[in-house]
Chain A
Amino acid sequence: MNSSFLMSQAHALFSADGLAGLIFLIMVAVMLIGGLMACTSERLVRCVAGLVVCFVGVAGIYFYLNSPFVATMQMLIYVGAVSVTISFAIMLAAPEQSKKIGPSGPLSGPLGFLTAGLIFGGLAVLGCRTVWPVKPKINSGTMEDIGAQLLQNYSMVFELVSVVLLIAILGAIILARGGRNT
C-alpha cells in the first residue's frame, strides 16, 4: 500500500469499500493490541486475556475474508477451549499474585530484537517481491463445501491433524505419569 492509495481510501471512507477497509484495520489493531498484551503483561492471567483478544481479532479477519464458518470455529475452539484450558493450567499452577513471569531466557534483549528484526525484514521483503495473483474462488466457503473438501481432496491433512492430537494426548499422559510417586 503506498500513500496515494491510503489517501484515496481516506476520501472514500464512507463508501462500502472504505468501511470494509476500516473494519479490516480495526481487526488488525485488535490483533496487535491482544498480541502486545499477551507478550508484555506481568500477570499470566492478563497474558491469557491478551491471547483471547488476539484470537477474536483473528476470527474477525476470517469473517472479513468471507469465511464465517472458519471464524466461528476459531472462536469456538481457540476462545472456548484452548484459552480456557490455558487459564485452568495457570490457575492450578500459580494462583498467587506474587508469582510473576520468571527470569528471562538467553534469547531476550538485543538477540531477541535481532531475531525479530530479521524475521520481520525477511517477511517484508518476501511480501513486497511476491506477485499476489487473485485466484478464482474454489468454493463458497460454506460448511458443506469445507466438509466435502476435507474428507475428499484433503483427507490426508485431516488424518495427519488427528495424529498430532494423538501425540499431544500421549505427551500429556507421559507427563502425568512422570509426576506420580509410584
Chain B
Amino acid sequence: MSLTLLNVIVAVIIAIAFAALNAAYLVWAERRGAARIQRRPGPNINGPFGLFQPPLDGVKLMAKQLLIPGGVDKVLFMAAPVLAMAPAITSFVTLPFSDLIVGHNMHIGILLIFAFASIGGMSLLFAGWSSRNKYSMMSSVRAVSQAIAYEIPMLITVITVVMIAGTTDLMGIVKGQMGGFWHWNIFPFKAGLFNPLMLMSFLIFFTCSLAETNRAPFDLGEAESELVAGFHTEYGSMGFGLFFMAEYANIVIGASLTTILFLGGWDCPFGFFPGVWWFLLKIYLLIASFIWIRWTFPRTTIYGLLNLSWKILIPLSLFNLLLTAGLLKVF
C-alpha cells in the first residue's frame, strides 16, 4: 500500500515537472518555428539560440500581479485555470512512455484520459462565463461546441483501434503492435487483418487532436482578429500561464495518444532497440508537425470547422468502424 502510494506521488511530481518543462520549451520551439516559417529572427537574445527565454518568461509571469477584474465571478474565475491544468497532469500519470516507464498502468487507461479531458471543456466554459466579457463568452461557446463536435469522431476512431487491439489498456494496445512498422495500426499488415482505411483513421485522429487542443487552423476559440484573445482575454500573470501550460500539455498528450494508438508507441520501426527514445522521437516529430501546420495554414471559419466534423469526419470514421468490425468478424 505505502509503496504504491509513494509510486503514485512520485509519478504525479514527475508528470508535473514533465508537463511544465514541455510547456516552457514548446513555447520556445513554437516561437522559433513560427519565426523561421515567417522569415524573422524569433527569440534569440537570451542565451544560445534564445534557450534562456522560457525560464525568464516564467519568472515574468509569476512576478506579475494576479489581477482580478471587477465584476467577474471570483470563485469560477480562479478555479478555471486550475481546472484546465489538473486533468492534463493527471493524464500523464497513465501514459506509458515505454514498457518500464509508466506512472500507474490501468486496464481502462484510454477511457481515463478521455474522462479527464472532459473536465478541460468545463474549464473553458467557466473561464469564458466568469470573465463577464462578451468576447470571452463567445469564445468559450465556440471552443466547447468545437470540442464536442470533434470528440465524437475521435472516440469512434479510438473504438476502432480498441476493437483491433482487444483491450483498453494503453500498454496492451502498444504490445499488440510490436515487431516492425508493418504491424502498427496505421499500416495493419497483420495476419487476418488488412484494413486499408486505417491510414485515414490516423489522419482523422490527428485532425481531431489538433481541433481538441484548439490549435490553428482550428483555433476559433482564440481567434485574435475577432475575439481579442478568446476565453483568456481577462487573465493575466500565472492564470494566463496556466492556460498556456495546459494547452501545451494537451498537445503532448495528443501526440502521445496518436503515437500509442497508431504509431506503435515505443516500438522501433525496424524491430531493434525498442525503448523510450523511439517514443520521444515520435511524439516530438508529431509536435513539430503541429507547429508546422499552425504557422502554415490560415484559420478556418466556424461553419467550415463544424461541417468538417459532422459531415465528413463522423461518417468516415463510422464507416471505418463498421469495416473494421466486419473484417474482425470475417477473418
Contact = CB atoms under 8 A, between A and B. Distances in A.
A95 B111 CA distance: 33
Contact of B112 (A49, A72, A87): A72
Interface string A66-106: 00110011011001110110011001000101000000000
Interface string A23-61: 000000000000000000001011001001000000000
B111 A72 contact: yes
Interface stretch (B32-40, B56-64, B116-124, B295-303): B116-124
Interface residues of A, number: 25
B125 A46 contact: no
A45 B1 contact: no
Contact of A142 (B107, B130, B144, B151): B107
Given A72-B108, A91-B129, A95-B137, A49 B76 contact: yes
Contact of B118 (A79, A88, A97): A79
Contacts of A73: 111, 115
A84 B125 contact: yes
B119 A43 contact: no
Nearest to A142: B107
Contacts of A95: 137
A139 B132 CA distance: 50
B141 interface: yes
A95 B129 CA distance: 9
B126 interface: yes
Interface string B141-178: 10011001001000000000000000010000000000
A16 interface: yes
- Interface of A: prevailing SS: helix
A84 B108 contact: no
A75 B116 CA distance: 7
B6 interface: no
A13 B108 CA distance: 30
B99 interface: no
A29 to B, nearest CB: 17
A143 interface: yes
Contacts of B121: 80, 84
A91 B73 CA distance: 15
A19 interface: yes
B33 to A, nearest CB: 32
Contact of B75 (A46, A75, A97): A46
Q: Which of B1, B106, B115 has the most CB of A within 10 A?
A: B115
Interface of A: 16, 19, 43, 45-46, 49, 52, 68-69, 72-73, 75-76, 79-81, 83-84, 87-88, 91, 95, 97, 142-143
29 contacts: A16-B1, A19-B1, A43-B73, A45-B126, A46-B73, A46-B76, A49-B75, A49-B76, A68-B108, A68-B112, A69-B108, A72-B108, A72-B112, A75-B118, A75-B119, A76-B111, A79-B115, A79-B122, A80-B115, A83-B122, A84-B125, A88-B144, A88-B145, A91-B129, A91-B137, A95-B137, A143-B107, A143-B108, A143-B168
Given A81-B148, A97-B132, 5 more contacts: A19-B1, A73-B111, A76-B111, A83-B122, A84-B125
